Structure 1
């Protein structure tokens, strides 16, 4: 299932994320934009796993940020270790009421809310091989372009845009 749907009343919501997780994501995206990263939520990786947030810096560095909205969310999901081969740096992002000590030291950590985020711990760098970087960058750009196209189509379908306007 794609992130964008041309059906329903909100084409950018897919219904999988809790309000708490969406708040973390919004805050992270605000901070990442300030850091000159572009970000794409819910990006499928070559393994079939789907990363919560993938970013590319202005220098081409690829980060994956795994969003955890509670202790239970962290304990129930261990797929994050599969993300390591697909990024230069791997981070967790969570809310302030989730204890920071539950997150592994080998990953970076952000605290976030709807309004912004702050880096608590930087992630160690593990440079991607050139072929993996190319594959990830191409996947990122193709999915971003597809989502933009679907959002444009949805805006017309939902009457949010007049198709006859220039």
Structure 2
């Protein structure tokens, strides 16, 4: 049985992802955290909107966190909309203005800037949607039967 106890994650990035997840669920999106669209890339938050749109949100907890990230450019080709999520203390002027901006904390979030839509090609959308569904199903089953998944990577 999955617990209904509230869980506040430990790291700053996990707290941002939790708040972003709450916002996106209120918008009727399905959400996964720490999702790998292809080998070598792991996005903080990916969501599937009711109409099938794919959003990726990269959570940045500090100037250093942003400056050290060399992979985020690779995420752009895997979504229809790309966002940065930061807390109120983050220096927002560091972030590229052509992407979306979400202000978040562990309890919620709000969209400050909606990015332009860049539609995925049909084959890529199909691939990422299938990968999303598979990861979600495996994670659900692992939560229901952890012993069956001991040592598994997903």
TM-score band by shorter chain is 0.7 to 0.9
Q: 1:33 aligns with which of 25, 32, 47?
A: 25
Residues paired across the two proteins, number: 142
2:102 aligned with 1:143: no
* Runs of 4 or more above 6 Å deviation: none
Q: Is the 8 A contact 2:54 2:80 kept in 1?
A: yes
CA distance in 2, matches of 1:156, 1:85: 34
Q: 1:128 aligns with which of 116, 120, 125?
A: 120
CA distance in 2, matches of 1:48, 1:136: 15
Q: Is the 8 A contact 2:87 2:103 kept in 1?
A: yes
Aligned match of 2:76? 84
Q: How far is 1:100 from its partner?
A: 1.1
TM-score after normalising by structure 1 = 0.81
Q: Structure 2: which 5+ runs fail to align?
A: 1-8, 150-154
TM-score after normalising by structure 2 = 0.87
Q: 2:56 aligns with which of 39, 64, 72?
A: 64
Q: Which moved more, 1:147-156 or 1:62-71?
A: 147-156
Aligned match of 1:110? 102
